[in-house]
């Protein structure tokens, strides 16, 4: 499959998604390669996903310590969405339409 990369933004400050034609499996592959992906079919402006690979937290902070985690711990990998509201939202989950659509592409 040909990799389609969109321009970052069009002149009206929206992602150019007219060439997005990939399926969900390809989007997952791209995420694992460190690329940002998005769907043409999403209603929100400038929404995209990235994969955050697993990492180790050597020094727990106040928030983790408040839950009884006082020693170093491992954090598993997860997908993050940059939302239309400009919020970094960890733990994004795909909907059925997301998984079955063929309108995914790479965002620069």
User: Is the Cα torsion angle 80, 99, 33, 48 positive or negative in sign?
Assistant: negative
- The pLDDT value recorded for residue 6 is 45
Residues 6+ apart with CB under 8 A from 81: 47, 48, 49, 89, 92
Q: Which long-range contacts (CB under 8 A, 24 or more apart) does 24-27 make?
A: 24/94, 24/98, 24/99, 24/100, 24/101, 24/104, 26/1, 26/104, 27/104
Instruction: Give tens-digit pLDDT for 5-30.
Output: 444 445 555 567 678 999 999 999 99
- The pLDDT value recorded for residue 43 is 84
Tens digits of pLDDT across the chain (108 residues): 444 444 444 555 556 767 899 999 999 999 999 999 999 999 888 899 999 999 999 999 999 999 999 999 999 999 999 999 999 999 999 999 999 999 999 998
pTM as predicted: 0.79
The whole-angstrom separation of Cα 37 and Cα 41 is 12
Other residues' Cβ atoms within 10 Å of the Cβ of residue 28 = 17
């Amino acid at each position: 499959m040909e990799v389609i990369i969109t321009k970052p933004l069009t002149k009206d400050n929206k992602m150019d998604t007219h060439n997005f034609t990939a399926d969900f499996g390809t989007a997952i592959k791209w995420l694992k390669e460190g690329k940002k992906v998005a769907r043409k079919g999403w209603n929100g402006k400038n929404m995209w996903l990235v994969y955050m690979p697993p990492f180790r937290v050597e020094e727990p902070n106040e928030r983790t310590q408040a839950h009884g985690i006082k020693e170093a711990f491992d954090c598993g990998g997860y997908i993050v969405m940059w939302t239309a509201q400009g919020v970094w939202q960890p733990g994004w989950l795909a909907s059925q339409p997301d998984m079955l659509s063929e309108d995914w592409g790479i965002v620069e």
